[in-house]
Amino acid sequence: MLLPDQREEGSVYKKIYKTRDFKLKDDDINRYSGKTFFLKTYGCQMNERDSETLVAILESLGFSEEKDYTKADLLLLNTCSIRENAHNKAFGMLGRFKHLKEKRPEIIVGLCGCMAQELNVCEEIMKNYKFVNLIFGTHNIDRLPELLDEAVAKNSQQIEVLSREEDLVEGMPVIRSNKYKAYVNIIYGCDKFCTYCIVPYTRGRERSRKKEDILKEVKSLVDDGYKEITVLGQNVNAYGKDLYDDYHFGELLEDIAKSGIPRVRFMTSHPWDFTDKMIEVISKYPNIMPSIHLPVQSGSNRILKLMGRRYTKESYLELFDKIKNNIPGVSVSTDIIVGFPGEEEEDFLETMDLVNYCKFDNAFTFIYSERVGTPACKLKNNIPMEVREDRLQRLNEVVNNYFLENNNKLLNTELPVLVEGISDKKNMYYGYSDTNKLINFTSDNELNLGDIVNVVITEVHTWSLDGRVK
């Protein structure tokens, strides 16, 4: 048994990471032929991307996917720790698995991902969810075949959670969930240590993939006919700083744009290290989508300082203006947390002022959630839940008005949209514009999924637009 140690996870140290290749043993291939797995993924795009690898490993082992969890032989949850509700959802699902396991004791239940990196979660499972066979974290996905074998052979709870990140593993298999859009990891982990955030503890220190490995993956996606890639990192702006003196995110983005992929997106960007080079590259290449996710978290300098965000409201706004003035037609989205410890009404009103200035195209708004082991969790002056909820509601009203106001400006304009499918609800094609707006649209001619078409906007809603192909 190997349990996580959050002090070790949170320690700052310098390590040089090596890269090694993943190889499945010949004996492992199809070892579980005829068995099925159910995998549920919570959380961010990183987790979705990890799940694409979990699926590929399981399928190489001979498993096939079963969408109905009551019928599967292996039940796996790839979990998220970012807020309490993600945590509660995973435990809720474990509760359902428990009933199933009582009826079918032979099934294997596993939990992986970010929650596995939390000692309190592992302890809770050891105490109250003894039926869970397998726990592994974010740093040893490549060990799934061995861990699974041990869990099956010993029929006891196997826990292997590494507190520190390992070397980078290249060549892990992947079965992508979309035929036209793909995620490409460029950097793992986060060193920013925002005081509210659990990610540096669950995902480890920043480790960039080598540029050759990234560009090789991008090239193979272009060759396979992919139309859009989203470059992923907890903070993509930190790319390369651990590896190269003069090759950072701007340079990488430029090389990715030159690969010929029709669309490039990236997320997430921390405002602290968003460079002029990045702005220059984004505005120069038409295939880099003019859509930037720039989390602000708060509009109060006092709260930003308590959050450890490394910028002020003024420097955020300066960057915001620079982006708006230099990237034609850019849309900017953000993340905002309300009810951080010590947030007074006047701090919240400063956030509202910032929102009124920025008029974001999209905003993900959250109630502050205490995460065990983070510095903010030890702060006094917790804000009562009714106040947090009230602020969220007031904030949402304002941000939603701006979504609609921005969308109204798009009426009768023409937007390029990647055709992704036909929505069941509306019986219309759907896809996203270059600026990442959800568009439902009709066409006189039948369209191919994966095409990029020009759509004229005919109707506007808060969270989507309707249109027809020109």
**Which residues lie near ligand 5AD (CB under 6 A)?**
82-83, 196-197, 295, 297, 335, 337, 366, 368-369, 371
SS3 state at 240: coil
Tell me the sheet residues that pair with 264: 229, 288
46 binds, among ligand 5AD, ligand SF4, none (CB under 5 to 8 A by kind): ligand SF4
Candidate residues 51, 202, 351, 407; the one interacting with ligand SF4 per rule CB under 6 A: 202
Candidate residues 114, 252, 257, 439; the one interacting with ligand SF4 per rule CB under 6 A: 114
Least distance to ligand SF4, CB of residue 179, Å:
24
Q: With contact defined as beta carbons under 8 Å apart, do 289 and 436 qualify?
A: yes
Q: With contact defined as beta carbons under 8 Å apart, do 383 and 339 qualify?
A: yes
Q: Of residues 141-200, which lie at the interface with ligand SF4 (CB under 6 A)?
A: 198-199
Binding flag, residue 238, ligand SF4 (CB under 6 A): no
- φ, ψ for residue 19, nearest 5 deg: -115, 135
For the chain, the first-to-last Cα distance in angstroms comes to: 61
Q: With contact defined as beta carbons under 8 Å apart, do 77 and 84 qualify?
A: no
Candidate residues 6, 51, 81, 435; the one interacting with ligand SF4 per rule CB under 6 A: 81
> Angle at which helices 211-223 and 249-258 pack, to 10 degrees?
30
Candidate residues 9, 17, 35, 47; the one interacting with ligand SF4 per rule CB under 6 A: 47
The CA distance from 267 to 276, in Å, is: 17
Whose Cβ is closer to ligand SF4: residue 89's or residue 277's?
A: 89
The CA distance from 468 to 457, in Å, is: 7
Binding flag, residue 419, ligand SF4 (CB under 6 A): no
327 binds, among ligand SF4, ligand 5AD, none (CB under 5 to 8 A by kind): none
Q: With contact defined as beta carbons under 8 Å apart, do 80 and 47 qualify?
A: yes
297 binds, among ligand 5AD, ligand SF4, none (CB under 5 to 8 A by kind): ligand 5AD
The CA distance from 470 to 454, in Å, is: 6
203 binds, among ligand SF4, ligand 5AD, none (CB under 5 to 8 A by kind): ligand SF4
Helices (H) and strands (E) counted in the chain, each on its own, are: 13, 21
Binding flag, residue 80, ligand SF4 (CB under 6 A): yes
Whose Cβ is closer to ligand 5AD: residue 145's or residue 295's?
A: 295
Q: Which residues bind ligand SF4 (CB under 6 A)?
A: 43-44, 46-47, 80-82, 114, 198-199, 202-203
